[in-house]
Amino acid sequence: MTDAFLVSGTRTPVGRYGGSLSAVRPDDLAALVIRQVVEDSKVPSADVDEVIFGNSNGAGEENRNVARMAWLLAGFEDVVPGITVNRLCASGMSAIAQAQQMIAAGAADLVVAGGVESMSRAPWVMAKPEKPFSRPGDVVDSAIGWRFVNPRHVDHPKRTFSMPETAEEVARVDGISRVDADEFALRSQQRAVAATQAGRLTREITPVEIPSRKGQPTVVTTDEGPRPETTLDALSNLRPVVAGGSVVTAGNASSLNDGASAVIVASARAVEKYGLNPRARVVGSANAGVPPEIMGIGPVPATRKVLERTGWGIGDLDAVELNEAFASQSLACMRRLGLDEQIVNSDGGAIALGHPLGSSGCRIVLTLLRRLEDDGLQRGLATMCVGVGQGSAMLIERV
């Protein structure tokens, strides 16, 4: 089986919902990071075997296979194919996993993998009438959550819980208190602010230029989510967002965001042929299913599965990136897996940085890779929960 290596990688800043990046189409965000990783690696663009991009929404400007569209928008040759994958929050991670699997199988040597989401620009969508001459159906926001729910789910009401409802359920099942969740959220904000101020995230980020009709364009260089003013008192005063709930608030949950990320995954043969700089080896990946109403614990079985497959143990991990969909589910996963909080999200997580769904899986892999390099560490885990009850996990090793 052929090893797969992570070579050049980058991401845009993560934009707030309705923030600076809302002025940029998602396919343009994807094109930006694709162009950047290809240029950074100096590989001949026509020699790329495949473009694999994750996207969770797919209902708006990124519809009709954003991987292919973004490659063409980046100005590269039309001989390179592209495919878009959707595992909701883990779409970007699944793109990297599929790239690694193609290389391991000998089906590719160079793959551009990543993901994109613009939750700001997600359209309102309307159900198509089932009969001719019918009136328009319901109109719903496609940014996040269930839409056009199949009525057959009526016998399984918890299956269609909203994401905050699943986080509240995890808090109940695992005994996560409101204080626990708020303290975790504060720690995420503090770590992200410190990392931003120290310039630790700069190497991950490709700035995004926002055109202006009035003169000089605006250049976005940093994540818009971290809030230096956050305090425990402020978090504790926020109202729960779930009816009848007590734990999940807007302050201890990830937000709606915009962003894109990409990485080149290369075989050993490509590394030698093109003189590439392999930064890490993709050791393995795994996915798992859990009850949809507690989807937040998905990283637990996914992590256990990939550790068992590779022969690694929790004690072998030097750094962990656990996507912070919610504080309650992050804490539940850390406790169930026995993870040391000091090595988990040391530069903050999605509660502070944001969670552009299709991009986040690739984003946390890039952050993990950068942390391994910055801190002289060797082995890392990236893992995340997935809507409708799944978890994804990936192990990488710095080379």
* pLDDT per position as a tens digit, 257-290: 999 999 999 999 999 999 999 999 999 999 999 9
Q: Please tell me the pTM assigned to this model.
A: 0.97
CA–CA separation, 203 vs 197, rounded Å? 13
- Report angle CA 396, 398, 399 to the nearest 5 degrees: 125
Annotated active-site residue 362? The verdict is no
| Cα 132 to Cα 129, 136, 150, 381, distances in angstroms | 7, 11, 21, 52
Tokens of 74: 């980046």
Over 90: is that where the pLDDT of 145 sits? no
Confidence grade of residue 298 (pLDDT, cut at 50, 70, 90)? very high
- Report angle CA 108, 49, 281 to the nearest 5 degrees: 50
Please state the rounded mean pLDDT for residues 191-207. 98
Confidence grade of residue 138 (pLDDT, cut at 50, 70, 90)? confident
Query: pLDDT digits over 16-49, tens only?
Result: 999 999 999 999 999 999 999 999 999 999 999 9
- Residue 331 is inside which H or E element, if any? helix 327-337
Annotated active-site residue 385? The verdict is yes
CA–CA separation, 350 vs 176, rounded Å? 19
User: pLDDT over 70 for what percent of the chain?
Assistant: 100
Over 80: is that where the pLDDT of 215 sits? no
CA–CA separation, 246 vs 146, rounded Å? 23
Catalytic residue selected from 153, 156, 333, 355: 355
| Cα 348 to Cα 163, 185, 192, 196, 254, distances in angstroms | 21, 9, 4, 10, 12
- Report angle CA 96, 97, 103 to the nearest 5 degrees: 90
Catalytic residue selected from 89, 153, 156, 333: 89
| Cα 345 to Cα 63, 315, 381, distances in angstroms | 32, 17, 11
CA–CA separation, 21 vs 32, rounded Å? 13
Confidence grade of residue 144 (pLDDT, cut at 50, 70, 90)? confident
pLDDT at residue 339 in the model: 98
